[in-house]
Amino acid sequence: MPTTLTNNPEETQALAATLATSLKGGDIILLYGDLGSGKTCFVQGLAKALGVTETVRSPSFTFVWEHRLPSLQCTMYHFDLYRLHYGDDLTPIGLSDVWGEPMTITVVEWADRLGEYMPEHFIQIDFEYLRDSKRKITIQKK
Q: Which residues contact ligand ADP by CB under 6 A?
A: 6-9, 11-12, 33, 35-41, 58, 109, 127, 133, 135
From 5-13, 31-39, 97-105, 133-141, give the range in contact with Mg ion by CB under 5 A: 31-39
Dihedral angle computed from the Cα positions of residues 1, 24, 60 and 97, in that order, rounded to the nearest 10 degrees = -130
Burial class (CB in 10 A: 0-12, 13-18, 19+), 4: middle
CB-wise, 98 or 108, nearer to ligand ADP?
Answer: 108
Distance CA 34, CA 77 (A): 21
DSSP label of 91: G
DSSP string, 102-131: TTEEEEEESGGGGTT---SS-EEEEEEEEE
Q: Which does 27 bind (CB under 5 to 8 A by kind): Mg ion, ligand ADP, none?
A: none
Strand pairing report for 134-141 and 123-131: antiparallel
CB-wise, 37 or 104, nearer to Mg ion?
Answer: 37
CB-wise, 61 or 116, nearer to ligand ADP?
Answer: 61
78 counts as binding Mg ion under rule CB under 5 A: no
39 counts as binding Mg ion under rule CB under 5 A: yes
CB-wise, 18 or 101, nearer to ligand ADP?
Answer: 18
58 counts as binding Mg ion under rule CB under 5 A: yes
DSSP label of 61: T
Binding interface with Mg ion (CB under 5 A): 39-40, 58, 109
